[in-house]
């Protein structure tokens, strides 16, 4: 049976409830009240612009590349005297290059930034203040939680371009051979931790010794996704003030004990560690695992007829749940540097990026989720495997208010680095209690830095 269609309006807005529906301005660190009218001195009506703008982003899927190429073409058609130079760079080293450019004043005018990294830029005064360039209608066009992700101390420093989250891709053949006949096709029926453990155990027994039940997507900069299990257990990384670690508690110990079973019971490959060079999608593509946790942006890669998954039919299902369902906040904003020589051109380009038609077209090409309210109830025509994208759309409604608040704090990059170091040790023999205490201390140090 096909899952019921949840409206896209439930993405984050519905998931966060009344607080999100009325705006998270009082919940996200240092985010002041959202203005209801344009501020005095508004520059929202930019008009015609001209000049050259450098836009840097990391190389993603072919769909993302095509999406940005279309945006360039359409913007230049609207503004014939403007030129957008697209700079496609590797993700590894992307932000260190941006940082060096900001210090030397040679940074690109506009660059892409993920929500886990944006806090360090909004809090250090290196971005163009977009507040005067946005009308009240433009400011209120976004899903509230994601709009708050680009704000700091009441000012807006970018536009939330798209979002993504994790779900599970699985091989139908592998599950059938293990006797797993029922896979959740509704969010409300997602496997509990106990049910997920049972599925992993059955797969472990049915698979050859060199094959494994699943791989997780916590590698490298994705270490923060481990917190999804912490949220599912009813815990959080930080206290409500966002100033102290909250990992050392019963939910933290429960989440740690459960995820340590991934290695203890050989549910994941031994090299599916935090600091491995092999990502979760690669384990699935080479058929080392029967299931994998992936973000929706990887669907085109798995579906590629030449280099994609060759193990037969595959589909998607939901993240497991414990006390609650929860998933990670992924995706990216686009920002302009404070030192851009043409702030009006930069602002005009950012506003153009997130117009409804442009966002819809980009997300459909890239298999990603939009951030505008008026696209929330729109069924998008995804370019690749629209049949599996509904799972990610529904899964995104489980991104908790806590996850949003914690992911966009200014020091989150340091928190993520702390998780990388400590989770690596936790999955290589350190006991549960010691692991939780170590993570708690490292997160507290990151928050206090």
Residues 157-182 have a mean pLDDT of: 97
Q: Is residue 15 part of a domain?
A: yes
- Is pLDDT at 27 greater than 60 in this prediction? no
Residues 44 and 91 in one domain: yes
Q: Do 172 and 258 share a structural domain?
A: yes
Is the pLDDT at 365 greater than 50? The verdict is yes
Tell me: do 274 and 391 sit in the same domain: no
Average predicted confidence (pLDDT) for the chain: 90
Count: domains in the chain: 2
Q: What are the angstrom distances between the C-alpha of 173 and each of 34, 170, 179, 210, 232?
A: 50, 9, 10, 17, 29
Give the whole-angstrom CA distance, residue 130 versus residue 346: 9
Sequence-distant (≥ 6) Cβ neighbours of residue 157 within 8 angstroms? 121, 122, 127, 128, 129, 130, 150, 151, 335
CATH number at residue 436: 3.40.190.10
pLDDT reading at 296 higher than 60: yes
3-state SS string over 394-418?
Answer: HHHHHCCHHHHHHHCCCCHHHHHHH
Asked if pLDDT for residue 18 goes beyond 70, the answer is no
Q: How confident is the model at residue 41 (pLDDT cuts 50, 70, 90)?
A: low
Question: What average pLDDT does this structure show over 179-191?
Answer: 96
Task: Give yes or no: residues 349 and 276 share one domain.
Answer: no
- Whether residue 437 is contained in a domain is answered as yes
- pLDDT tens for residues 367-418? 999 999 999 778 899 999 999 999 998 898 898 878 988 999 999 999 999 9
Beta strand extents in 51-103 (DSSP E only): 51-58, 82-89
The pLDDT assigned to 20 comes to 31
Q: Are strands 82-89 and 51-58 parallel, antiparallel or unpaired?
A: parallel
- pTM of structure: 0.85
Angle of the 343-353 helix axis to the 356-366 helix axis, nearest 10: 60
Residue 446 contacts residue 417 (beta carbons within 8 Å): yes
Domain that includes residue 98, residue range:
8-164+330-400
User: What single string gives the DSSP state of each residue in 334-403?
Assistant: EEEBTT-S-HHHHHHHHHHHTSHHHHHHHHHHHT-B--BGGGTT-----SS-HHHHHHHHHHGGG--HHH
Distance of CA 86 to the CA centre of its chain: 23
**441 domain residue, yes or no:** yes
For 257, the token pair is: 């004990």
Q: Are 108 and 334 in contact (CB under 8 A)?
A: no
Q: Are residues 422 and 386 in the same domain?
A: no
């Amino acid at each position: 049976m096909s899952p019921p269609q949840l409206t896209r309006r439930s993405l984050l807005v519905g998931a966060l409830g009344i607080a999100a529906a009325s705006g998270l301005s009082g919940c996200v660190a240092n985010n002041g009240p959202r203005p209801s009218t344009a501020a005095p001195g508004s520059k929202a009506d930019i008009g015609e612009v001209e000049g050259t703008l450098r836009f840097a982003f990391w190389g993603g899927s072919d769909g993302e590349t095509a999406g940005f190429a279309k945006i360039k073409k359409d913007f230049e058609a609207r503004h014939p005297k403007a030129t957008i130079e697209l700079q496609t760079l590797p993700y590894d080293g992307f932000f260190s290059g941006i940082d060096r450019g900001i210090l030397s004043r040679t940074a690109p005018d506009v660059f892409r930034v993920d929500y886990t990294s944006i806090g360090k830029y909004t809090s250090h005064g290196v971005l163009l203040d977009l507040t005067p360039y946005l009308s009240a209608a433009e400011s209120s066009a976004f899903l509230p939680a994601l709009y708050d992700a680009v704000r700091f101390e009441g000012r807006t420093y970018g536009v939330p371009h798209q979002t993504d989250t994790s779900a599970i891709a699985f091989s139908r053949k592998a599950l059938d051979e293990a006797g797993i006949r029922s896979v959740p096709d509704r969010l409300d029926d997602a496997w509990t931790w106990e049910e997920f453990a049972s599925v992993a155990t059955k797969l472990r027994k049915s698979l050859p010794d060199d094959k494994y039940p699943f791989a997780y997507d916590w590698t490298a900069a994705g270490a923060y996704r481990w917190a999804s299990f912490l949220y599912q257990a009813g815990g959080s990384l930080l206290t409500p003030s966002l100033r102290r670690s909250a990992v050392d508690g019963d939910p933290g110990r429960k989440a740690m004990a459960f995820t340590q079973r991934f290695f203890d019971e050989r549910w994941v490959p031994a090299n599916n560690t935090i600091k491995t060079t092999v990502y979760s999608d690669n384990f699935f593509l080479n058929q080392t695992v029967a299931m994998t946790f992936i973000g929706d942006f990887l669907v085109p890669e798995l579906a590629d007829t030449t280099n994609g998954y060759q193990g037969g039919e595959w589909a998607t299902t939901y993240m497991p749940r414990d006390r609650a369902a929860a998933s990670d906040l992924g995706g990216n904003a686009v920002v302009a540097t404070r030192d851009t020589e043409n702030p009006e051109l930069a602002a005009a380009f950012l506003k153009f990026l997130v117009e409804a038609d442009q966002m819809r077209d980009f997300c459909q090409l890239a298999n990603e989720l939009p951030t505008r309210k008026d696209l929330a109830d729109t069924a998008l025509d995804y370019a690749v495997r629209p049949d599996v994208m509904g799972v990610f759309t529904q899964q995104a409604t489980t991104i908790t208010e806590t996850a949003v608040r914690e992911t966009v704090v200014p020091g989150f990059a340091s928190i993520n680095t702390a998780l990388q170091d400590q989770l690596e040790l936790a999955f290589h023999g350190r006991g549960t209690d010691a692991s939780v205490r170590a993570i708690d201390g490292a997160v507290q140090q990151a928050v206090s830095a």
